[in-house]
Chain A
């Protein structure tokens, strides 16, 4: 789960990381009173889960109340790369002497947290990495040993941090690591990490990604999820406990098991079709789960054909067939279905389907045949 900047900063503050004082606001009036509380000049920053908002006009410095009103009015509701701004964050403008970059990522390859520090902050770090890789100091931390003070010194010296800032930067990284571990993050990124004229450091931005699988241990964090920025269909699927990703095409896909569904999308694409979604009905899907999943797929009115690809292991094909029949009873779909049933209880499943004589349901013996048929049907051709 990605957090908004201010949610990340609030998380940082809980772990002792210095951040500017600020307030979130969802309306212009709220923004103006927040600005008066933090004082002028203040920064008004669009809260969206996408980079590049500064260039898009999503960050403005207001010198007075009128400007606070004008800018928050302009920013609220703005569209930034497809993300609508529902909220702004108002914070006291910071004095900046220089800008650094700091991050900790969950490095899957090395199977350890990777800390990165650069004195070239404020800009796109990928650009720095491409043009001047030596400007980024990196270090893996042993997950069982944890962050040691020497890690901070080594990184700071390697990145070329001024000697008088080595200690505060090291302490900052230590706290950042503490946040990363305590909150079970997959990423914490601060860009820029600022140095003030008083030679202190603070996080002027915060990008935090939390591990969804760990949210049961962090009930406060679980509440930070904002359903308003999720696609309604994805939200509907989530409420039903389905693993679902919306795609751009017109062929609804349902299968069991993440790998098989991903493979189904690929095979459909190879036959010239465009999948409308990824939907893994999961292992051991019972009839109700199948009915519910069909409803989610058909809630997208772009869908004009549906492919069922089931290879039963834990999942039983007779259960799938019964779920499909129930879905037809309840939803009476107008689009054609292609069904491929293999695996546990497949003979029973196919028999149940055949006897039900559902309208506009085609069967296929293999995944390839199923994909070929559904692509033809989606184009309005005969299967």
Chain B
């Protein structure tokens, strides 16, 4: 198994006729992901590298049975695109777009809680289930199939951690980027719950950063609900307060959201925290054997 995406994924990509949309939809298709459709209003009937384009998500679902949507449109259109995908009955929407206004995210999140559609992201690198499917921008060639599940708020840091794990001999069940924005659709806890239930996953790696209290909440959840070992990494120990460190959600506000507090909360609940990505791999070796 894997989590969220696999061989049964039928992907529809919004923004597929844009430069980035075309590039990554094609990349995902070449990896073996079942990319069944694209959506660009007014461009129905065209195709991108053999992928048929529709005017609406509804049409794409009716014609192809698409069950996962990837949103790749500019920030001002992204919230609308997510809502349209949900309205078309697509159960999983993965939003790569960075820079969506926070109030848009709030309204989308609240609405999706009521409709049951799951959103991953926004501002995330997507999801990779090695050997099965890749949705998003994760450079899949660095990862192979295996038993470590990774959930992360950051893209490139995930590649770094995944790479050190790979060098230590580990593969991945799934790598899930939840994104660095203030209101991610899917939280650490949501993904950890999936990994806990996933047969393929034997170790869970959580990669967090400064800002908010998602890591602290995850620590509580892990203590009460997770039997599988969890290793964590937190970025931003040296981040100054009041400054946004690249991600809209990565900001230490007053005394809240510091990396030290997050590492402490996790360690207090028995989660081992690596101080560098390399240490995360070393802890993984220690737990699972080299």
Contact = CB atoms under 8 A, between A and B. Distances in A.
Interface of A: 106, 108-109, 111-113, 126, 142-144, 181, 184, 186, 211-214, 216-217, 243, 245, 247, 255-263, 265-267, 269-270, 275, 278, 280, 283, 311-314, 342-344, 366-368
A112 B183 CA distance: 10
Interface in B203-262: 207, 209-210, 212-213, 217, 233, 235-240, 243-250, 254, 259
Interface of B: 75-76, 99-104, 106-107, 109-111, 125, 137-139, 142, 152-160, 163, 180, 182-183, 207, 209-210, 212-213, 217, 233, 235-240, 243-250, 254, 259, 275-278
B249 to A, nearest CB: 7
A261 B245 CA distance: 9
A108 B238 contact: no
7 contacts: A112-B106, A144-B107, A217-B76, A260-B159, A311-B159, A342-B163, A367-B277
Contacts of A247: 238, 240
Given A217-B76, A255-B156, 20 more contacts: A106-B182, A109-B217, A111-B183, A113-B106, A143-B103, A184-B102, A214-B101, A245-B245, A259-B153, A259-B156, A259-B246, A262-B235, A262-B238, A263-B160, A266-B275, A270-B276, A313-B139, A313-B156, A367-B276, A368-B276
Nearest to A261: B246
Contacts of B276: 263, 266-267, 270, 367-368
Contacts, number: 158
Given A255-B156, A258-B180, A343-B142, A217 B101 contact: yes
B237 A266 contact: yes
Contacts of A258: 154, 156, 180, 209, 245-247, 250
A343 B156 CA distance: 10
B245 A213 contact: no
Contact of B110 (A144, A211, A343): A144
A97 to B, nearest CB: 31
A265 B238 contact: yes
A214 to B, nearest CB: 4
B277 A181 contact: no
Nearest to A243: B246
B212 to A, nearest CB: 5
A166 to B, nearest CB: 28
Given A108-B182, A112-B106, A213-B102, A313 B155 contact: yes
A343 B139 contact: yes
A261 B250 CA distance: 12
A111 B156 CA distance: 26
Contacts of B102: 106, 184, 186, 211, 213-214
Nearest to B152: A259
Nearest to B99: A213
Q: Which of B233, B238, B240 has the most CB atoms of chain A within a 10 A radius of its CB?
A: B238
Contacts of B240: 245, 247
A212 B250 CA distance: 14
A108 B249 CA distance: 9
B163 A259 contact: no
A217 B100 CA distance: 12
Contact of B235 (A113, A216, A259, A283): A259
Contacts of A126: 254
A260 B156 contact: yes
A259 B278 contact: no
A216 B101 CA distance: 9
Contacts of A217: 76, 101
Contact of A257 (B107, B155, B183, B249): B155
A211 B249 CA distance: 11
A80 to B, nearest CB: 16
A259 B104 CA distance: 24
A111 B111 CA distance: 12
A313 B239 contact: no
Nearest to A262: B235
A256 B158 CA distance: 12
B185 to A, nearest CB: 10
List 3 tightest A-B contacts by C-beta distance, closest first: A259-B154, A258-B246, A257-B156
